[in-house]
């Protein structure tokens, strides 16, 4: 079996980005070769090999909170530089597949020359750009941005040979906007068992405290990790905590992440008088994230119900389910497409008291926590990462025209079929 040579491009850091890392290492684990062209943080090397993936970092930073104009200019400049590096490497030793991760979608045009020279191109849509843009803008300006985002999405998908997306709601949108069904592959952002080993799953700390008679002095920890933007709704979680602590003073909220909303969230916690019960920590290496999950009791996903967040299937939901932590989440179309109503507590994102009551219920009812964990794991199991990784490796083989990897079976198709 000959290896597929893959050139990946992402406007993000590597190996910090969990999706790009997970998908790249899946290819390497299957015997293929992967080069990743990405951004560079000051402390990082210009190039290195990490877990078998060759990384080439460009002298740009991602930045948070920039104006739309500066963001677009950054995207365009990165596309040009990444395209230059990608082309040079392709001319030295040709890639079979170029895998471009959005945002932006038009980054796919960094693969123009390799495509003309015979490489197949994947556009990986982790976030649908039109819905994300409209979530950040409003009014007449927002409507214009939405139309432009739809246009660039359409031509980007047409340029690519294959479009990978991360859930059924996104697939439905892409189909409505004219992307052919046969061009779309769903690969869910499941928890990578290399980073979240099954043998590390354990009973939540508060449950242990309940069983050993130490519950009164043990905090009941609700946790969140990821981007801190307005659309992610962590202000809702902080307000809910402040309400719920009036009934359950043992509650604590642990937040790991960064983003433009961080300063506001810290100020809000202080204004509500819960600054000592809201713990902020910086993002960590993916290998360390499992420790954060294991020290918590409940995962929270309080996304606002706008056009974008309504469609997002958060990776953290898979991680909570796999590591056997109960969840409370906004009642969105995406969440309902993955988990049944008996697998987590669905809350109204427009009502802080809905989240507050869910926090109280989970604290007071250990049997509810156990039932949610069992049901969520059952929902998640058919979509575990080994099935998703196999599906990705099969896609690379199909596009490149090379033989299928050993062990590829029809079970992969069954695993990601819509339930």
Residue 404: what pLDDT?
Answer: 62
**Statement: residue 328 has pLDDT above 70:** yes
Backbone angles phi, psi at 387, to 5 degrees: -70, -40
Residue 407: what pLDDT?
Answer: 47
**Statement: residue 64 has pLDDT above 70:** no
What value does the mean pLDDT take over residues 34-49?
A: 94
Complete edge-to-edge strand list for the sheet that includes strand 298-301 = 278-281, 251-256, 220-225, 298-301, 327-330, 345-347
Q: Please write the tens of the pLDDT for every residue from 166-225.
A: 989 999 999 999 999 999 999 999 999 999 999 999 999 999 999 999 998 999 999 999
Q: Please write the tens of the pLDDT for every residue from 107-152.
A: 999 999 999 999 999 999 998 888 888 776 666 777 788 888 999 9
Q: Please write the tens of the pLDDT for every residue from 357-416.
A: 999 999 999 999 999 999 999 999 999 999 999 999 999 999 999 876 454 444 444 444
Residue 409: what pLDDT?
Answer: 44
Closest CA to 416 of 164, 127, 56: 164
- Between 75 and 62, where is the model more confident? 75
Q: Please write the tens of the pLDDT for every residue from 222-275.
A: 999 999 999 899 999 999 999 999 999 999 999 999 988 999 999 999 999 999
Residue 307: what pLDDT?
Answer: 73
How far is the C-alpha of 197 from the C-alpha of 185, rounded, in Å?
Answer: 26
What value does the mean pLDDT take over residues 292-315?
A: 90
Query: 5-190+384-416 adopts what CATH topology?
Result: Rossmann fold (3.40.50)
328-361: b or e for each residue (b if 16 or more CB lie within 10 Å)? Answer: bbbbbbbbeebbeeebbbbbebeebebbbbbbbe
Task: Please determine whether the domains at 5-190+384-416 and 198-381 fall in the same fold group of CATH.
Answer: yes
Paired tokens of 263: 């300063």
Residue 295: what pLDDT?
Answer: 96
Residue 293: what pLDDT?
Answer: 97
Residue 411: what pLDDT?
Answer: 44
Is 264 buried (19+), middle (13-18) or exposed (0-12) by CB count in 10 A? Answer: middle
Residue 139: what pLDDT?
Answer: 63
Give the domain ranges of the chain: 5-190+384-416, 198-381
pTM: 0.85
CATH code at 198-381: 3.40.50.2000
What value does the mean pLDDT take over residues 9-30?
A: 94
How far is the C-alpha of 343 from the C-alpha of 190, rounded, in Å?
Answer: 17
Least confident range from 46-60, 167-181, 185-199, 303-317: namely 303-317
Residue 28: what pLDDT?
Answer: 97
How far is the C-alpha of 80 from the C-alpha of 304, rounded, in Å?
Answer: 34
How far is the C-alpha of 376 from the C-alpha of 380, rounded, in Å?
Answer: 6
Kindly state the percentage of the chain with pLDDT values over 70. Answer: 94
Q: In which band, very low, low, confident or very high, does the pLDDT at 331 lie, cut at 50, 70 and 90? A: very high
């Amino acid at each position: 079996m000959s290896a597929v040579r893959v050139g990946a491009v992402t406007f993000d850091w590597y190996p910090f980005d969990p999706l790009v890392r997970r998908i790249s290492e899946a290819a390497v684990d299957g015997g293929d070769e992967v080069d990743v062209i990405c951004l560079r943080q000051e402390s990082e090397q210009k190039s290195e090999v990490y877990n078998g993936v060759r990384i080439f970092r460009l002298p740009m930073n991602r930045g948070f909170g920039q104006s739309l104009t500066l963001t677009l200019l950054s995207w365009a400049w990165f596309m040009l530089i990444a395209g230059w590096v990608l082309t040079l490497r392709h001319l030295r030793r040709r890639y079979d597949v170029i895998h471009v991760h959005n945002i932006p979608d038009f980054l796919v045009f960094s693969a123009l020359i390799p495509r003309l020279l015979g490489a197949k191109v994947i556009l990986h849509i982790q976030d649908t750009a039109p819905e994300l843009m409209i979530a950040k803008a409003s009014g007449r300006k927002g409507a214009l941005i939405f139309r432009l985002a739809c246009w660039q999405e359409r031509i980007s998908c047409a340029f690519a040979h294959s479009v990978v997306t991360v859930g059924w709601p996104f697939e439905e949108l892409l189909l409505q906007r004219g992307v052919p069904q046969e061009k779309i592959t769903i690969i869910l952002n499941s928890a990578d068992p290399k980073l979240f080993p099954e043998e590390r799953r354990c009973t939540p700390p508060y449950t242990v405290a309940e069983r050993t008679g130490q519950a009164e002095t043990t905090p009941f920890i609700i946790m969140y990790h990821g981007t801190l933007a307005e659309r992610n709704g962590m202000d809702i979680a902080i307000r809910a905590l402040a309400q719920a602590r009036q009934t359950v003073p043992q509650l604590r909220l642990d937040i790991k992440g960064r983003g433009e909303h961080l300063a506001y969230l810290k100020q809000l916690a202080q204004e509500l008088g819960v600054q000592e019960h809201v713990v902020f920590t910086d993002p960590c290496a993916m290998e360390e994230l499992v420790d954060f999950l294991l020290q918590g009791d409940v995962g929270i996903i309080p996304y606002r119900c706008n056009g974008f967040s309504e469609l997002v299937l958060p990776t953290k939901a898979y991680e909570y389910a796999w590591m056997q932590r109960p969840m409370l989440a906004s009642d969105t179309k995406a969440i309902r497409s993955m988990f049944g109503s008996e697998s987590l507590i669905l809350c109204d994102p427009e009502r802080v008291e809905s989240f507050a009551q869910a926090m109280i219920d989970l604290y007071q009812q250990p049997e509810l926590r156990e039932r949610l964990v069992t049901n969520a794991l059952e929902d998640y199991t058919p979509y575990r990462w080994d099935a998703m990784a196999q599906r990705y490796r099969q896609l690379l083989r199909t596009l490149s025209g090379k033989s299928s990897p050993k062990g590829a079976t029809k079970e992969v198709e069954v695993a990601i079929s819509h339930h």
